[in-house]
Amino acid sequence: MPDENAPLFLRAGQIVLADWRGDAMPKEPNKLRPAVVVEDDGLFAPAYPNAILVPLTEDAALAIPDLSVAIAPTPENGCGKPCWAVSHLVATTSKARLRATPSRITPDQLAIVRRQIASRSASRDKRSD
């Protein structure tokens, strides 16, 4: 039986199930949904309680073209139908809300997600100058 107090080891590009149900505010996710770990494996110690994620959605209306990555179903990612990694919805989430899966996106897809997050952050910084 796994130790419930053991740190959750996550890898960049790994798909997890994030349980955002229960205490969400209006306009926040309020369901169990897949998400991609985008933080570098060595960014935080394994015991750090949070993870940086980008949610996956099957809703094309949420996928802003310049801020989303199309994810076609493959055996590696475990997706049952096409979906999008919605980079503009990047969030930090408690690992207590996460369930690891063996699924993952490709390194190229992860690189695009990270570039989209960085470009969004850079454009936000320019507006605050």
Q: What is the DSSP letter of 8?
A: P
pLDDT mean over 24-41: 79
- Residue 79 banded pLDDT, cuts 50, 70, 90: very high
Mean pLDDT in the chain?
Answer: 86
pLDDT mean over 7-15: 90
pLDDT(77) > 90: yes
Q: With contact defined as beta carbons under 8 Å apart, do 51 and 16 qualify?
A: yes
Cα–Cα distances (Å) from 52 to 2, 33, 91, in that order, read 23, 15, 6
pLDDT mean over 5-28: 79
Q: What pLDDT, on the 0 to 100 scale, is given for residue 112?
A: 96
pLDDT(42) > 50: yes
Q: What pLDDT, on the 0 to 100 scale, is given for residue 29?
A: 64
- Residue 2 banded pLDDT, cuts 50, 70, 90: very low
Q: Which residues pair with 78 in a beta bridge?
A: none
Distance CA 129, CA 124 (A): 9
Could you tell me which residue, 32 or 55, shows the higher pLDDT?
55
